[in-house]
């Protein structure tokens, strides 16, 4: 299952995010929140394990520093959505991604990304240009 789409949501006063309905069935058990590039990533257990294995292989190949792999566990959190489909986002992760009340929840194929709306707006147009350029040059086709 590829996670796709963009959704505007908000955090409640306790820092919980209600997952978009179309994503909830993939997070009925455990999930992983990680610091990501300017946002927070939400992974299924299988997606998290695959990402960690890729990173470990990249460390072995000298493509990624061992410190990055070492930092993965302490910068990640195991969460479990409640009956209403809410996940608790710790203050530490909210600070990392500058999340306050309003957030943007984006599908990112193998994960979900949770963005500060201002940060998201700042990169969304650049990402659209990059995607158009990739399609024009035959990428993904």
Q: How far apart are CA 80 and CA 16, in angstroms?
A: 11
pLDDT tens-digit map of 128-140: 555 555 556 666 6
| Mean pLDDT (whole number) for 29-43 | 95
Mean pLDDT of 95-113: 96
> How confident is the model over 34-49, as a mean pLDDT?
96
| pTM, full prediction | 0.88
| Overall average pLDDT of the 31-45 stretch | 96
| CATH code for residues 6-136 | 3.40.1550.20
Q: Where are the domains of the chain?
A: 6-136
């Amino acid at each position: 299952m590829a996670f796709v789409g963009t959704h505007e949501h908000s955090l409640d006063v306790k820092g919980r995010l209600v997952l978009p309905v179309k994503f909830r069935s993939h997070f009925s058990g455990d999930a992983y929140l990680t610091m990501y590039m300017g946002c927070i990533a939400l992974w299924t257990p299988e997606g998290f394990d695959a990402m960690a294995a890729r990173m470990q292989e990249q460390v072995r190949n000298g493509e990624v520093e061992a410190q990055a792999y070492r930092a993965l566990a302490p910068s990640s959190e195991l969460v479990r959505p409640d009956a209403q489909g809410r996940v608790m986002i710790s203050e530490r992760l909210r600070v990392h991604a500058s999340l306050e009340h309003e957030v943007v929840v984006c599908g990112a194929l193998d994960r979900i990304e949770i963005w500060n709306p201002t940060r998201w707006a700042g990169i969304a147009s650049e990402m659209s240009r990059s995607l158009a350029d990739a399609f024009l040059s035959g990428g993904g086709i």
